[in-house]
Amino acid sequence: MRRVVALGIVNAGKSSLLSALADEENLFPSGDVPRVTREIQQETRGGLLLVDTPGLDAPDEDVELAFQSAISAHTVLWCHSLRMGELRPTELSALRRYKTTNGLWRTCFVLTHGDNVASFEIVRVVSKRIAEQLGEVFGMSFVGVGEKIPPPPPGQRNPRPFNVVGTIDYWRSRTGSGPDSERRLNRSGVPRLREFLLSLRPEGGL
Amino acid sequence: MNGTSHRAPGEARSTTPQPTWVPKQWTKFQRVFSEVAAELTDGRETARSRRRRIQENLAEFQSQLEAEIPWVGVSEHVPKSVASGIRKAIGVLRQQQRRLLDALGETAEAFESAEENEDRFVVLVFGEVNAGKSALANHIAGLDFQAAASAPRGESFVGDRTVNRLDELPIECTRQYQGFRLPGLLWIDCPGILSGTFANAQLARRLVARADFLVFVSSSDAPFKSSEMVELSRIIDESGQDKVDACLVVTKADYFDIDEDPETGREIRRVVAKERRDWKAQADWCREQLATAGLGRHLRIREPLAVSIYVARDALGRRWDSGSFFRAPDENWEATYRTSGLPALLKLLSDLATEEGPKLKAAWPKKRAAALRRLFDETATKSSDELTRLSDELDSLRAELSEAQGGAAGDAAELASGEVAPCLTKNGVHLVDGFNAARAQKQLAEALRKSVLEAVTEATRNILEKVRNRFDAALALYVQETNFSLDVKERFKTHTYQTTKVSEAVGGAAGGLAGGAGGAWGGAAIGTAIFPSVGTLIGGILGGLLGGIGGGAAGRAIGRRVYTGTVKVRMSAGTNADEVIADAQRQIKASARKLVKKLFEELDAAVFGQLLTEIKQLRRQVAQWSEAAVTPAPRRSGASRKEAEGRRTKARPKR
């Protein structure tokens, strides 16, 4: 069983993403007010053990809990909502703390709400800025969405590119049918991410 | 109808005639402000005279600190170097108080700002990075519906630069003072709260003291999170006002919907206002957050408003992100515009200006006074708390020393009295003619000195060590604490604290400590070294006095002069030898007790008496600091001071 833990600040889209990965709407309840997930919740669906955590701007002990749960993960999905623009100070400080757990190698950065912003231009601009911010935190070069990936420095691997997902698209496509739905499903980014997670060796690592 | 296809940039732009769709709510909004501004009462004179008063008061306090340090009730036998050491310690306290006053003065000055000279309403907007403040400003400035050429248009600015419109990129957080001016209105985006820079926080503090109305903005994606509420309560708290003229606005109350054109396969994005149900949940959440933070009753307008600039622009045929025109609005555009929530916000502001305009406007000097008072209060409380802690520590040290006095006196008396019989016997008290009274007396005086020295040394050894350490620590802590949290001047400029100044101020207390520990017992150190470290001085004084009795190096001369006189054993020849011995014992015991008592008294007066008197005086002064921000003139008469202190204690729970 591959243990997948979602991390991120409140309303970063952790619960919606996990529900979509499980293909079960509202499996992890999410909502419009920033308080929904207060404790660790985990469900097993389709070969993945999905773990939802409290937001990283929650009280300190909750953050500790979230990090604890990430330590034993095969993959960490670090979520950030594109609607919120660049990474915030709270996220940056959480990332710096996260860096000390040496978890980068099993971390997958997911930009959520890709289908809920004004234009693709925003996805491009915001992800580029986030790549810079992550680069500052981790001392590696990240690339934004649609950017060319430079060859990695000798002896190193490039960090994985960002996954952009949109759960509105995903659920829409699940209710419809035909080529439109197919396209929508692909655009949601969820199947690709799910496939990727399932392709991981159960002992972990990217 | 609340959506339309999103076309590529550049399309249908230059050839279209200038659009003239202007929401009537905005027309009214800008008219109201320009009309009301014309009849505003000017608060500048009030503000200036208030500032003059504050400065006079502060100058008065400063001059009190310049006064000579009183030096009364201390025996002339306390070495001069000790006296000057204690003065120095007092100097450290005063210097620190002076710095605090300086900082308050500079803060009061810094609160005077360019905004003061605005004959307009000043609306201040707070919100996190990317909360949508810039888009809101651009829209309210009227930049999303440029009407006829004669119609007013907001003049946007970033810092002191004029710009066409504020940048709305989702990656560019508001780092600078920016906003726009309309007739009768100055709208300021406060540099993003939670943006982490201290200078911004200070600018915010100053602006709040000048603003007529505050707007707290949060994104609908995660509205008014706990971290934002913390910031919000801080702003409200620092304003010093009980009821703040402010409202909450939730921005980005919208979502996007992507469809594909079945024929062309092109993406169609629509922006839609959030459903009522969702908004209701958010509004409830906001109210709940306000209640949790205990802020509900401090806000003038408690009902949160939801707005979506994108929906508004869409209704007006404008591009969501840039606001540029790309199509004519459809017939129902006004209805769609209403769903954006902006008409409600415009109406709220217009009503406010109409109904309360002059009153609100006239209130700003008062608001500034409240903010300053709050700041002065904070500084005074901190300083007073620290002084109290210092004086409590002194009191407890004093108590410990005086406890030691009893034991030391008893021990000294016993020791000395035990010397009497052997000494007198040796000097022939039992012989009719051979009693050398003069020599016996000399020897007894020596025995008395030794006994007192031994007893006092024994009794105070541990305590003195403790006193030294604790006193130095207490004084250093006072300086450090007041520096760290109250160096307002430094804080205003930068967020790096000037920690080096602490050690300067304490004047190398640690070095003094080490030096003092060695010198204290011999009494020699005080003659040469001067420490602003009072703990060392206590050891030094005692060492000096003891040195006098025991014949230590530097203190010898002093000791001789002071104490020889008390060590006289009167002996009448020819009486019964046992009676002579008993009498001498009685006398020597009394002398020993007296000597120990005198020693402790000198010590107490020189150190604790002076310092505690000074601290008491400083605290009395500190109690008046916050009054200085509001009172018409420095309070001198006893009655009014009492009154002021009474009010102070009422306002704050007693420690």
pLDDT tens string B634-648: 334 444 444 444 444
- Number of domains comprising chain A: 1
Q: Residue A164 burial by CB count (10 A; 0-12/13-18/19+): exposed, middle or buried?
A: buried
What is the reported pLDDT for B350? 93
CB B625 within 8 A of CB B65: no
Q: Which two structure tokens, joined as six digits, stand for A197?
A: 């997670």
What number of other Cβ atoms are within 10 A of residue B176's Cβ?
Answer: 15
* Shortest CA gap A118–chain B (Å): 7
The rounded radius of gyration (Å) of the Cα atoms in chain B is 38
Q: Please give the residue range of the domain that contains residue A161.
A: 2-199
Residue to mutate among B171, B198, B261, B308, with most A CBs inside 10 A, is B171
CATH of the domain at A49: 3.40.50.300
Per CB-CB distance under 8 Å, the chain B contacts of A122 are: 170, 321
User: Which residue out of B130, B221, B282, B324 would a mutagenesis test of the A interface target, given it has the greatest number of A Cβ atoms within 10 Å?
Assistant: B221
Q: What is the pLDDT of residues B407-460, one digit of tens each?
A: 888 988 898 888 888 888 888 777 767 777 778 777 887 788 778 778 877 777
> Does residue A50 surpass a pLDDT of 90?
yes
**Chain A CB within 8 Å of residue B399 CB:** no
Best residue of B133, B174, B227 to probe chain A, by most A CBs closer than 10 Å: B227
Residues B293 and B229 sit within 8 Å (Cβ to Cβ)? yes
Mean pLDDT highest for which of A171-180, B280-289, B323-332, B556-565? B280-289
pLDDT in tens, A166-199: 998 899 888 877 777 888 898 899 999 999 988 8
Do A119 and B257 count as a contact with CB atoms less than 8 A apart?
no
**What is the average per-residue pLDDT within B559-564?**
41
Question: Is residue B343 pLDDT above 90, yes or no?
Answer: yes
Name the residue among B130, B125, B161, B127 with its Cα closest to residue B140: B125
Number of cross-chain residue pairs from A and B with Cβ atoms under 8 Å apart: 92
> Please, what is the end-to-end C-alpha distance for chain A in angstroms?
15
> Is A86 in contact with B260 (Cβ distance < 8 A)?
no
**Is residue A205 assigned to a domain?**
no
Tell me whether residue A146 is in a domain.
Answer: yes
Each as own residue / partner, the long-range contacts of residues B59-67 (CB below 8 Å, 24 or more positions apart, any chain) are: B60/B634, B61/B101, B61/B621, B61/B624, B61/B625, B61/B628, B61/B634, B62/B98, B62/B101, B64/B621, B65/B94, B65/B97, B65/B98, B65/B101, B65/B621
- d(CA B375, CA B204) in angstroms, rounded, equals 14
Percent of chain A whose pLDDT exceeds 70 = 94
Distance CA B343, CA B345 (A): 5
What chain A residue is nearest to B255 in terms of C-alpha separation? A116
ipTM attached to this prediction? 0.84
**Residues of chain A with C-beta less than 8 angstroms from the C-beta of B196:** 89
Residue position matching structure tokens 């400063």: B62
| Chain A residues whose beta carbon lies within 8 Å of the beta carbon of residue B6 | 118-119
Interacting residues of B389 by C-beta distance below 8 A, sequence separation 6+: B474, B477, B478
* Of residues A11, A57, A126, nearest to B221 (C-beta): A11
Contacts of B577 (CB under 8 A, 6+ apart): B424, B429, B430
Nearest to A16 by CA among A130, A152, A171, A144: A171
Give every CB contact of residue B26 below 8 A, 6+ residues apart in sequence: B140, B142, B145, B346
- At residue A1, the 3 state secondary structure works out as coil
What does the pLDDT read at residue B503? 27
**pLDDT greater than 60 at residue B555:** no
Residue A64 lies in a domain: yes
Q: Which two tokens stand for residue B205?
A: 């503090």
Pair B265, B203: CB distance under 8 Å? no
Q: Are the Cβ atoms of A10 and B222 closer than 8 angstroms?
A: yes
**Residue A52 domain-assigned?**
yes
How far from chain centre, in Å, is Cα B479?
13
Is the Cβ pair A35, B285 closer than 8 Å? Answer: yes
* C-beta neighbour count of B368 within 10 angstroms: 28
Mean pLDDT (whole number) for B527-543: 46
**DSSP 3-state assignment of B193?**
coil
- Closest CB to B282: pick one of A33, A88, A113: A33
Give B271's contacts in chain A (Cβ within 8 Å): 118
Evaluate whether B360 touches B352 at the Cβ level (below 8 Å).
Answer: yes
Q: Does B260 touch chain A (CB under 8 A)?
A: yes
Give residue-wise pLDDT tens across range B97-135: 888 888 788 777 777 766 676 778 889 998 887 788 889
Class of domain B25-39+118-208+213-362: alpha beta
Please tell me which residue of chain A has the smallest CA distance to B170. Answer: A85
The answer to pTM > 0.80 is no
Higher pLDDT pick, B590 / B457: B590
Tell me which residue of A97, A86, A114 sits closest to A7, measured CA to CA: A97
- Measure A84 CA to nearest chain B CA, in Å: 7
Rounded to 5 degrees, φ, ψ at B462 are -70, -45
Instruction: Choose among B195, B258, B281: nearest Cβ to A33.
Output: B281
CB B615 within 8 A of CB B93: yes
Say whether pLDDT at B546 is over 80.
Answer: no
CB B567, CB B448: distance < 8 Å: yes
pLDDT in tens, B358-387: 788 778 888 888 888 888 888 888 888 888
In a domain, A100, yes or no: yes
Q: Is B219 near chain A, with CB under 8 Å?
A: yes
Closest-CA residue to B7 (of B272, B270, B253): B270
Closest listed residue to residue B600, CA positions, set B550, B545, B558, B638:
B545
CA distances from A132 to A41, A126, A136, A149, B574 (A): 32, 10, 6, 14, 106
pLDDT over 70, % of chain B: 70
Q: Where in chain B are the domains?
A: 25-39+118-208+213-362, 68-106+374-631
